[in-house]
Amino acid sequence: MSLLSIENLRGGYTATDEIVKGVDLRVSSGEIVSLIGPNGAGKSTLLKLVAGLLRPSGGRVRFDGREIAGRDAPTISRLGLSFVPQERNVFAAMSVAENLEMGGFIDKAASRRRIGELYAQFPMLAQKRRAAARTLSGGQRQILAMAIALMVSPRLLLLDEPTAGLSPRAAEELFATIGALNRAGVAILMVEQNALEALSVSARAYVLVQGRAERGGRADALAADPTVRDLFLGGDVRPMLTSAFPTGGPP
């Protein structure tokens, strides 16, 4: 059984604005799955629908065997699914320690123990525990954002553009961190514009185009596909994707 199973998911920011137009997707325990595609394809919207930040207009979302479509974000988080947004994902004026405390508000009794575990896992956070989050580098802020999400010991982490705005070196280091989290047992569903790098650390991937999953499969097979490589090496890929991947869904 899949840890996360999505069937015909539809929705957007209003009842009449359907950005995600019937996506089928699955994530198994312990794997990394990437969502790639052009800007405006609905990738981030899909994560928000799964995380409970937006209410689906249709379809099913099952997490660990439970139907979660339409439930609110705190309830979904308590079930073991955490979301790290691309922007405004830390409290800039608060210290690193205070940010982690905010992440543990659901289970305050376990918060102190969990913070200690995360300090051991991410020594940089321990070193900067008293520093305001706004003083961290871009890569450090992203690690803090993920650590906040990890405060509830999730089984699945949703990452929205984790390397956006980072230098190549910082992005490489962050991908290494994502890989380490996965090896520790956390499944990851990741939206990432750096498609080829995302595919290199993923087990499987889906290509989203205009709100639909137009292709899916093993990440290494997609990375080796000449069409996929050409499409994601730059330029405006939307017209090319539409013609390259006719509607019909992933195999």
Predicted pLDDT of residue 234: 45
pLDDT band for position 235 (50/70/90)?
very low
pLDDT band for position 90 (50/70/90)?
very high
pLDDT band for position 228 (50/70/90)?
confident
DSSP β-bridge partners for residue 26: 5
Sequence spans of domains, the chain: 4-91+155-244
Q: What number of residues does the chain have? A: 251
Q: What angle do CA 141, 143, 148 make, to 5 degrees?
A: 95
pLDDT band for position 238 (50/70/90)?
very low
CB 227 within 8 A of CB 217: no
Q: Is the pLDDT of residue 43 over 90?
A: yes
Burial class of residue 1, CB neighbours in 10 A (0-12, 13-18, 19+): exposed
Predicted pLDDT of residue 26: 96
Question: Tokens 């308590």 label which residue?
Answer: 78
Q: Is the pLDDT of residue 7 over 60?
A: yes
Tokens of 27: 């994530």
Predicted pLDDT of residue 100: 94
Determine the average pLDDT of the residues in 61-84: 94
Predicted pLDDT of residue 5: 97
Predicted pLDDT of residue 232: 66
Selection from 68, 39, 50 nearest residue 11 by Cα: 50
Predicted pLDDT of residue 39: 85
**CB neighbours of residue 211 within 10 Å:** 23
Q: What is the pTM of this model?
A: 0.87
Sign of CA dihedral 246, 221, 250, 237: negative
Predicted pLDDT of residue 23: 96
- CA–CA dist 220, 54 (Å, integer): 32
**What amino acid is encoded at 105 in this protein?**
F
Predicted pLDDT of residue 126: 95
Long-range contacts of 161-164 (CB under 8 A, 24+ apart): 161/44, 161/86, 161/191, 161/192, 161/193, 162/84, 162/86, 162/190, 162/192, 163/192, 163/193, 163/194, 163/197, 164/86, 164/193
- CA–CA dist 143, 106 (Å, integer): 20
Q: Which residues contact 205 (CB under 8 A, 6 or more apart)?
A: 33, 34, 35, 36, 198, 199, 216, 217, 218, 219, 222
Q: Is the pLDDT of residue 243 over 60?
A: no
Q: How far is CA 138 from CA 34, 44, 133, 162, 229, in A?
A: 22, 20, 10, 10, 27
**What amino acid is encoded at 165 in this protein?**
G
Superfamily name with CATH number, domain 4-91+155-244: P-loop containing nucleotide triphosphate hydrolases (3.40.50.300)
Q: Which residues contact 79 (CB under 8 A, 6 or more apart)?
A: 63, 64, 66, 68
Determine the average pLDDT of the residues in 156-183: 92
